[in-house]
């Protein structure tokens, strides 16, 4: 009888020990899991790759846009174009971007144009080398190239007559054009890229010593007739009274140089 009671006591002690051992292991695992989370190698791939739940699609603001916001928020300078002019260009880019976007001119609004064409390729052509260096110091991400113009604004009447000659109405690669208005020394990138949109906002044209925009408008129009989808420019220059930008909506039968 005594041996049976002793066996019963031993079994109870063993069960109690197992209970406390199990409780200790359970608490230990809980503490370890909260202190040292599982490494990715132990977590199923479906859990790692699972996107966070959002009521709407979760998107991160593009770096180009965030840089532009910070730049203009902390700058005392504003784009040279008016709201109305920018709105016209914006509508074109909203339709075409991301795209290949060529801009004649480099200014305070260049970062804005690059940001509006996020994911595309935006190139600026500028006449003033010192201005290019200044802008690149401030915004090194902009892609710009120096361009030399051999015209002067007072030549607008004479160049308009030249533009009416038959060899200036032929559509082709500007590098091989016989027309005096064609710009033949632009970077090879300009001629070899299929531009979706071209904007003419340069060169300078508000004084007699300035090159005027006759050659820029003609060359842009020549490239547009070849393969460009959209072409627009900022007017309000005397030299642009004759050299109107041909509409990108015009048919192929429209003369290259429409009447002013």
Spatial CB neighbours of 179, under 8 Å, sequence gap ≥ 6: 162, 163, 165, 167, 168, 170, 218
Q: What is the DSSP letter of 127?
A: S
State residue 90's pLDDT score: 87
Higher pLDDT, 163 or 132: 132
Asked whether residue 99 carries a pLDDT value surpassing 80, the answer given is yes
Query: What is the per-residue pLDDT across 176-188, written as a single tens digit (0 to 9) for each?
Result: 999 999 999 999 9
Compute the average pLDDT of residues 56-69: 70
CA 90, CA 94: separation in Å to the nearest integer?
A: 6
- CB-CB contact of 174 with 184 (8 Å): yes
Residue-wise pLDDT tens digits, 199-251:
998 898 878 888 888 899 889 988 887 665 555 555 444 444 444 444 444 44
Residues 6+ apart with CB under 8 A from 223: 102, 174, 191, 195, 198
- Nearest to residue 145, comparing CAs of 178, 185, 112? 185
Share of the chain above pLDDT 70, in %: 62
Between 25-29, 173-177, 200-204, the lowest mean confidence (pLDDT) is in 25-29
Using DSSP, state whether 1 is helix, strand or coil.
coil
Tell me the backbone φ, ψ of residue 97, rounded to 5 degrees.
Answer: -70, 150
Residues 135, 106: Cα–Cα separation, whole Å: 8
Q: Is the pLDDT of residue 255 over 70?
A: no
pTM flag (> 0.75): no
Q: What strand order describes the sheet that includes 100-104?
A: 144-146, 121-126, 100-104, 197-200, 230-233
* Count of positions (residues) in the chain: 260
Closest-CA residue to 81 (of 112, 102, 120, 124): 112
In CATH, 67-240 is 3.40.50 = yes
User: pLDDT tens-digit profile of 154-171?
Assistant: 888 888 888 888 888 888
């Amino acid at each position: 009888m005594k041996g049976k009671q002793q066996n019963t006591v031993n079994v109870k002690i063993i069960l109690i020990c197992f209970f406390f051992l199990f409780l200790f292991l359970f608490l230990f695992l809980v503490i370890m899991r909260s202190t040292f989370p599982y490494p990715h190698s132990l977590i199923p791939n479906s859990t790692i790759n699972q996107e966070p739940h959002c009521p709407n699609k979760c998107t991160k603001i593009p770096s180009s846009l965030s840089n532009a916001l910070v730049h203009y928020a902390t700058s005392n300078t504003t784009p040279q174009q008016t709201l109305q002019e920018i709105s016209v260009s914006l509508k074109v880019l909203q339709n075409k971007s991301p795209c290949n976007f060529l801009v004649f001119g480099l200014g305070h609004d260049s970062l804005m144009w690059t940001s509006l064409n996020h994911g595309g390729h935006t190139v600026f052509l500028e006449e003033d080398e010192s201005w290019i260096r200044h802008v690149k110091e401030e915004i090194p991400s902009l892609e710009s190239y120096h361009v030399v113009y051999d015209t002067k604004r007072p030549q607008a009447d004479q160049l308009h007559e030249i533009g009416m000659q038959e060899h200036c109405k032929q559509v082709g690669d500007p590098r091989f054009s016989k027309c005096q208005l064609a710009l033949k020394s632009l970077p090879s990138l300009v001629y070899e890229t299929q531009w979706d949109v071209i904007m003419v906002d340069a060169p300078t044209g508000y004084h007699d010593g300035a090159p005027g925009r006759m050659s820029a408008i003609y060359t842009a129009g020549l490239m547009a007739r070849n393969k460009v989808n959209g072409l627009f420019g900022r007017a309000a220059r005397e030299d642009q009274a004759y050299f109107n930008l041909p509409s990108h909506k015009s048919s192929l039968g429209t003369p290259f140089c429409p009447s002013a």
